[in-house]
Amino acid sequence: MTPDRLDDLLQRALETGVIPPEADPAERIELEALLAARGELRAVREAVAREADAAMPAARARFQRHLAAQRPAPVEVRTVAARPSFVVRLFGGRRLQFAGSLAALLFVALVALLATRPFQGAQEVQALGVDDYVQLSGVVTESAPDRVVISSPDLGPVTVAASGAAFLDAAGVAQQTPPAPGAAVIVTGIVRDARKGRIAVDGQALAVAAAALPNGDGRPADRLRALPQVPEGTLALVAIGRDGRDGRAIVILPDGRRALVDVDAGSLGQVFAATGSPLGTRVRIADRNGGPFMLERLPGGEGPDHDGKNGGHPGLTRLTGTIRSTTPDGFTLETARGPVAVRLPPGFRILPGETGLSVAEIRAGTNLNGYSAAVAGGFDPRTGTFIAAVVVLGPRP
């Protein structure tokens, strides 16, 4: 087998799509391998082209400017070499050379793919998940009785299904109409779509209240990997997973950066128990031996809650007391002001706190009578029943 003969056979195979019949078995094996490799290269090239076309033009422009800035000055190099054969030019000649060429091509393709996919912050590192319970703030941009769209500084547009939600004014009084465009609101509810640009929430409450948040630096949130130099900040968004064991928070750090923090649900539950609505709460971030970070509430920065104590925001209510008379859909909470009927709607979150119980045990029907609890939610104006979005258990008194 000579390079010229293999060149001729390969050229004919590329033109006709069929290996020439005069090729001997060894040549046929070589040609089949080269044709298969050509198909793989074509598939890689097409995939790279599709990804590059779909990438953001701005990101592509930044990458090109970076390449231009890094390009070294041209150096004249003169070499004298024999003209390579067609196979050598196309595939690098021998199989070892071809493998090196393919690896180099794949490396370049990988660099191109990564360069055309700019880091987009929290939206692409799972700030929210489907079925999360979430509290977030934003400004209303569209308003209808069954649908409200808000603009969130961390998530962009968020569509809130509001047909079953309570609309609360700044004093916490229920309203018949949703907040008007331009109103600053706090939204609580269950995430139904967590895809970038398609965030959707089944609203439980929309309260006209502005969380006391510092001005960030405008950049998207980055996932927190290690403790910052000043490990404290202000909560701008909180989320609790369906099983109550994992939580996430967006924290505005003192230098203006926004950090997406994987947090221990127990410590997040303590912040809920103390505030009802954690948004705007100053917290300290603590390391937990490589696991989720822990949050510790710092004093100051919260308004009065339903009981007139520190914690909570206007329009979002927090109650504390002892659980009595549990039923499948709720319980009676014995508070300092008397008994309150509490209903547990679909999607509510219950956190074990310091009880030693698991979420599975609680949902399986463990008797909770006598346990202390802090509940966050709002009153149904028609019945006076308290609708609890989050329940944080405490020890028996």
Residue with structure tokens 């809650």?
305
Say if residues 330 and 342 touch (Cβ distance below 8 Å): yes
pLDDT at 71: 54
Amino acid (1-letter code) at residue 194: A
Per-residue pLDDT of the chain (397 residues; tens, 9 = 90+): 566 777 777 777 777 767 888 888 787 887 777 777 676 666 656 655 666 565 556 555 555 555 555 555 554 545 445 555 444 444 444 444 444 444 444 444 444 444 333 333 444 446 788 989 999 999 999 999 899 999 998 889 999 998 878 888 877 777 888 999 999 999 988 999 988 888 999 988 888 887 778 888 778 888 998 888 889 999 999 999 887 778 899 999 999 999 999 998 888 888 888 888 889 999 999 987 777 899 999 986 454 343 433 334 455 678 999 999 888 889 999 999 999 999 988 778 888 887 888 878 887 888 899 999 999 887 777 788 888 888 999 887 6
pLDDT at 68: 57
User: Which of 63, 230, 210 is CA-nearest to residue 150?
Assistant: 210
Those residues with Cβ within 8 angstroms of residue 395's Cβ, 6 or more apart along the chain or in another chain: 353, 354, 355, 371, 372
Instruction: Count Cβ neighbours within 10 Å for each residue of 145-156 and write b for 16 or more, e otherwise.
Output: eeebbbebbbbe
pLDDT at 274: 86
pLDDT at 299: 81
The CA–CA distances, whole Å, from 149 to 179, 202, 340, 380 equal 10, 12, 33, 23
User: Which of 366, 382, 264, 372 is CA-nearest to residue 322?
Assistant: 372
Strand 386-393, strand 338-343: pairing = parallel
pLDDT at 27: 78
**Terminus-to-terminus CA distance in the chain, angstroms?**
91
How many residues are recorded in the chain?
397
Residue 323's DSSP bridge partners are 333
Is pTM, for the whole model, over 0.85? Answer: no
Ordered structural domains, the chain, with CATH:
3-68+83-115 (no CATH), 317-393 (2.40.50.140)
pLDDT at 52: 58
Those residues with Cβ within 8 angstroms of residue 316's Cβ, 6 or more apart along the chain or in another chain: 168, 172, 186, 188, 205, 207, 209, 276, 277, 376, 378
Instruction: Count Cβ neighbours within 10 Å for each residue of 207-235 and write b for 16 or more, e otherwise.
Output: bbbbbeeeebeeebbeebeeeeeebbbbb
Residue 144 tokens read as 């209808």
Strand 184-193, strand 199-208: pairing = antiparallel
pLDDT at 48: 59
